[in-house]
Structure formats: structure tokens, C-alpha cells
Amino acid sequence: MNIWGKLRIRGGDLLRTSWALKRIKSSTEYRDNCYVRDENSPDQFEVTFDQDSNNAVTVVQYGRLEKILEFETGSQNTWRGLKNTYQLLALISPCKTGGKDASHQVVEYKDMKESIITDIRNIKAVVGRVKSRGRWIIVDRSVETVLQAWGVGDHKSSEEGSDSDEDSDKYNQ
């Protein structure tokens, strides 16, 4: 089984494994981009449902990407559509975050869970971390979760599309 040290995912994020960072002689020259946003991996064979709507819920977790493993499937019919293909698997050490989504709220952790193996396609983005008071706070700026911040004012000008200084002064107060 081959081991990969880095991979660029859809959206442009470059993932680097902690295994690869340890092998670099001067890892301080490289950004620690081995912490990732992982969706649907806590229990691959267990689906979480919303009690009210009875719909499947996407589970978000964060963790340290330890290794990327290249796995060749066999020719057995067990593999169905994946027969005779290469698959990339991610070895991840999940952070104990209680399933909270750091793109919508402050999420912090102190400890890690046991490592898991998941499909590399479950990794959606690289995330950052900030240490504060003995705990790590996750910074998730995933493209899918960024909200628009355009402000719409209640301004009404006497002329449609007016660019007068009088109109702009109302916004600068």
C-alpha cells in the first residue's frame, strides 16, 4: 500500500499529512495544514437522522490527517463498481468536538479520539487552529460555509442611482 504525503482537494486546499510534516527536515518552513474538516465519517455504517424530520443528517468532525493510503481493489465481484480501481483512504485522528460545526459556532477541543480510516472524499477542507488557555479553537473557513456580507441600506435618494456627495455623507456618519 502506497502512502501519500500531500494532496490537493476540490476547492483548491492543499492537504499535507502529519506523517509528511514529520519527515520534512525543517517543518517550521511549512504551514501545518494537516487539520481537516471531515463530513460523515464518525460511523460510516451508521446514519444519523433528525428526530423531527426523519431526514439523514450530515455529521461534521475535525481531525488531524495522519496519512493518505492508496488502496488497490481486487477483481472480486464484492467491489462492484470499484472493481480493479485505486482508492484513497485517509487515516484521521479526530478532535473531541462533540460534533459541533466550527463554521457556525465557536468550537474548541483539548483531546483527540482514536484514529479512524475514511474515504478521502469525506475531507471537505483544511482548517486552522488557535491555542488559547490550554485548548485549541478551530477556524473553519470552508468555501461552502462562507456567508455573504453585503449590507443593504434603507437609503432612498431623490434620484434613482444618485452619486451625489449628499447621499454618500448619510452612509459615512
Domain assignment present for residue 23? The answer is: yes
pLDDT tens digit sequence for 12-23: 888 899 998 888
Please give the pLDDT value at position 21: 85
DSSP three-state, residue 168: helix
Confidence band (pLDDT; 50, 70, 90) for 26?
A: low
Domain assignment present for residue 160? The answer is: no
Domain assignment present for residue 159? The answer is: no
Query: Residue 98 — left, alpha, or beta (φ > 0 → left; ψ -120 to 50 → alpha)?
Result: left
Quote the mean pLDDT of the chain. 80
Report the range of poorest mean pLDDT among 6-15, 59-68, 135-144, 145-154.
145-154
Contact 123, 62 (CB under 8 A): no
Please say if the pLDDT value at position 139 is more than 80.
Answer: yes
Can you give the residue range of the structural domain that contains 35?
A: 2-146
Domain assignment present for residue 36? The answer is: yes
Domain assignment present for residue 78? The answer is: yes
Confidence band (pLDDT; 50, 70, 90) for 145?
A: low
- If one counts the domains in the chain, the total is 1
Domain assignment present for residue 162? The answer is: no
Domain assignment present for residue 25? The answer is: yes
Please give the pLDDT value at position 41: 46
Domain assignment present for residue 82? The answer is: yes
Please give the pLDDT value at position 56: 72
